[in-house]
Structure 1
Amino acid sequence: MKNKRDFILDLFQNRYTCKGYDPEKKVSDEDFMTIMEAARLSPSSMGYEPWKFILLNNEGIKKKIRPYSWGAEKAIDGASHLVIILSRTAKDMKYDSDYLKYITREIQNFPEDLAAKRTAKFKSFQEDDFKLFENEGALYDWTRMQTYIPLTNMLTAAAILGVDSTPIEGFNIEKVEKVLVEEGVYDPKHFGIASMISFGYKNREHREKTRRPMDEVLKIVD
């Protein structure tokens, strides 16, 4: 039996971005929901969960977004599951928004005095530490970056389960969003597309993984 370090390194050495899926092979409901639980349980700044996940099963909508989703064509054509990862809008992620009040009081169950302190701390973080109000789009860009935490956890959970996956940014955001909004998939007042991710089983072998050596990516400062 492998030790934990070997297990981790072997897992990441052999995890590949799937370039083609076998449409006849489907991920079980149990495996898919385990992957989504890994996403749901992912960490976020202050625990504010600035994301939502859309499992897109509708073939008609997939067909409509395909021309604008060059990076998702093979996923749309053969993957077992295609998930759209949404990011909360700047409106929802501003320190005094209704959404953050809901999370703080109803999900995290902080009493009013502690909730007020957390809001003040988050206000200081947004205004002073990261200066997220200095240019239009900065707050949304910061929020969107956080969605890559559950994305990464989904990739890892899938690999552990032996499920192939593809993280996807290859699409025209404006055109794909137009389709999804017109189809009523989500409300653009509260969400925007961050990325996509697909799951299934590969229909081909992958080229050998290439990465820079450790001494190029790790600098130790004593």
Structure 2
Amino acid sequence: MNAITEVKTDINAQIIEAFNSRHATKIFDPERKVSDTDFETILEAARLSPTSFGNEPFRILMIQSPDKRELFREFSWGANGMMNGSTGQLGTASHFGIILAATGELMRAGSDYLQDHYRQVKQLPEEVIEIFNGAYGKFQAEDHKITSDREITDWSGKQAYIVLANMMTTGALMGIDSCPIEGFDMERTTQTLAEHFGVDTAKWKPAVMFAFGHRAKDPEFPKTRRTMQDTVAWF
């Protein structure tokens, strides 16, 4: 076995070990904080994540203040510990946040927001922007038929999940635990974001919450998944 093969084999083993170790952590050790440097790496993985058409229809809201976290406690059953008799991820996570999904106001084909994104962020020439507008317009109207505000926001949410998956995988490879959280009241969360965080909820809606830190204890039960044969079909 040559050096390149050895390195590749080692990387393969590290990836599988990280995924086997990763679990949806419900209670973190509040005394063990993720370092700023490590979490910056996790956020950089989020920033560099792929999104459909490269439109980046997401933003990340980090909520580190205990008082700010408490604003979500009453209606975030997936993060408030009600299912395990603890203060939950809201009370124990080193880092807690929400990924916001862009609404139709921003992500409808031809929007001013997207034209600015293509020019300022992607730095595309005008002739390429014209091609993007046509292709993305067809994608929305004909290919996937996502034209209503709800449909476009849900599409943005799909991109947010790509981002969160990359954040969690990065964390797992670094020995940092995480939990994706969907157990919250969408309407009350949206209202709280508008009233207490200055979020323009006509443009941005909550997609998913997340928590990072170090587990307080190992899972009680082993990881279970379907077999590869039941998961993947080859043709």
| TM-score bracket for this pair, using the shorter chain length | over 0.9
**Secondary structure of the corresponding residue to residue 116 of structure 2:** helix
Aligned mates of 1:47, 1:7 — CA distance in 2? 29
Task: Please tell me whether residue 38 in structure 1 is matched to residue 45 in structure 2.
Answer: yes
1:93 is aligned to: 107
Instruction: Say if 2:181 and 2:210, in contact at 8 Å, map to a contact too.
Output: yes
1:103 is aligned to: 117
**Structure 2 stretches lacking a partner, 5+ long:** 1-5, 81-87
- Which runs of structure 2 are paired with 1:135-214 in the superposition (5 Å)? 137-206=150-219, 207-214=221-228
Paired residue type of 2:113:
Y
Cα drift, residue 136 of structure 1: 5.5
Moved over 3 A (4+): none
Aligned mates of 2:198, 2:65 — CA distance in 1? 10
Cα drift, residue 60 of structure 1: 1.9
**Secondary structure of the corresponding residue to residue 85 of structure 1:** strand
**Secondary structure of the corresponding residue to residue 101 of structure 1:** helix
TM-score of the two chains, using structure 2 as the length reference = 0.90
- Which runs of structure 2 are paired with 1:12-91 in the superposition (5 Å)? 12-73=19-80, 74-91=88-105
Cα drift, residue 7 of structure 1: 1.8
Aligned mates of 1:24, 1:5 — CA distance in 2? 32
Cα drift, residue 123 of structure 1: 0.6
Paired residue type of 1:55:
M
Moved more, 58-67 or 99-108: 58-67
1:126 is aligned to: 140
Aligned mates of 2:65, 2:189 — CA distance in 1? 14
**Structure 1 stretches lacking a partner, 5+ long:** none
TM-score of the two chains, using structure 1 as the length reference = 0.95
Identity of aligned residues (%): 37
Aligned mates of 1:22, 1:11 — CA distance in 2? 19
**Secondary structure of the corresponding residue to residue 31 of structure 2:** coil
Instruction: Say if 1:86 and 1:193, in contact at 8 Å, map to a contact too.
Output: yes
Cα drift, residue 184 of structure 1: 3.0
Aligned mates of 1:184, 1:114 — CA distance in 2? 36
How many residue pairs get matched?
A: 220
Instruction: Say if 2:72 and 2:189, in contact at 8 Å, map to a contact too.
Output: yes
Measured against aligned partners, the alpha-carbon deviations of 1:97-140 in whole angstroms (never above 9, x if no partner) come to 1111111111111111111111111111111111112x552222
**Secondary structure of the corresponding residue to residue 71 of structure 2:** helix
Aligned mates of 1:29, 1:154 — CA distance in 2? 15
Aligned mates of 1:50, 1:24 — CA distance in 2? 34
Paired residue type of 1:145:
K
Question: Superposition RMSD on alpha carbons, in Å?
Answer: 1.3
**Secondary structure of the corresponding residue to residue 147 of structure 1:** helix
